[in-house]
Structure 1
Amino acid sequence: MVPAISVAIDGPAGAGKSTVARELARRLGFLYIDTGAMYRAITLKALRRRLNLADEESLKALANQSRIELTTDPDRLTRVFLDGEDVTQAIREPEVTRHVSMVASLPGVREIMVDRQRELARSKNVVMDGRDVGTVVLPDAQVKVFLTASPEARARRRQRDLLARGYHVPLDSLVEEIMERDRQDSCRSIAPLKPAPDAWVIDSSDLSAEQVVEMIAARVLGRAS
């Protein structure tokens, strides 16, 4: 039996990980696993229930009781289902974005999510993106990428995404939010944001998503041949 191939793509918020990972998976015919979407789904559910997001036991219980499914629609886009409800758009709302880092930093929640993510990657070729995939979730991934970009470049991308969905947020506010998110993700005690020692660091500030996909695909196919 040929071992499954895993591609781990990590990096800070707004670096383009999801866009790159989704297209890379489509091109290679791999399963795309958006780990951030899983944490966003739990955050959305906690916000809806007005739970204290710092209460680890409550959030751990919530994660344990929640059913999160990632599927691919006919257009090869990933759909996220939470307890049977399609929350693909809801988990991208600004309120969820502001609080997901807090939820993702809770050790009890991470333990449950990491087990589920590893199970998904055990028997399939996958492209998985997040903030600790190469360091914690899939430390044996054959290809590891740390995708980054300047805070300003990431804020501009985020602003375009928000405008497309009808949200008008000043650029300076987004830069500040992204830098604070970086601080939280990098300083958390459990699985802090950092490149794996053997990760390929790509600065996408001046690169298109297509260029980044081409670069990673070439490396994956080289490893797979």
Structure 2
Amino acid sequence: MSIPFFIVVIITTIFSSSQGDCQVTPELSTQFVTSSDSASQTDWTKKGSIANITAGKVFDAWVTKGLSGASAAGIVGWVNSEGGFAMIGRAEGHYGNDLRTNSIAFGVKPVGLSYYTTEAGGGIYQFTPYTKYAPLGDPKWENADAMNEFVAKAILAGDWNASMDLTGGNHTFKQMAQMTDPKQATLVWQAYERGSTAHINPFQKQADAQKAYELFDGAKYSYNEATFHKSFGISGPLKPGE
């Protein structure tokens, strides 16, 4: 029995619209749609899970720029309780595992806390306002590599306030890059994040940093001055205090 032409048209139209409502594609996205994945995919400590792979990308991004393994683990530990790793482009205030209803890449708008004076944030690093990284619906929201590069360039441009360092040591980014204790490094990262201290749990940050250090073999990676200088446009040796 043949199918009436008007039914074929309707089916084709529905299928096309459902496939074309976002520009995120397997080539552009760095993770899978997780609507039907098990909860284990959101566990960043489980080797091979989506969250674990994303956390590894963050760690690798920083050690390849010359940072010590402890420093890179400190960053991983900090951002785990920001945007987290289960979904790269997660919109703040959205906690599900389905990209289409939780990711900014699909046009989901972040929802902030009551004290916010700007748009809410999103992404691994919880960019706030989210507009400083990319607009709603931009495929970059599901690209971990692009996010890591964005942060590195921001720091290179001076986006670092040492007075916000939670260790009280007013460390420069160069000093953090050389640290050997992930629990110290993660608190220094507040100099970039500059979040509300009333809403930061430093003990969780430190515990996550230590876990990242162990998961990704942080002890294997020492600070590489030549690589660091090349990555951040520094010429000559570090000066005292840097």
**Based on CA coordinates, which of the two structures has the bigger radius of gyration?**
2
TM bucket normalised to smaller:
under 0.3
Higher relative contact order (CA 8 A, sep 6+): 1
Higher strand content, 1 or 2: 1
> TM (normalized to structure 1)?
0.26
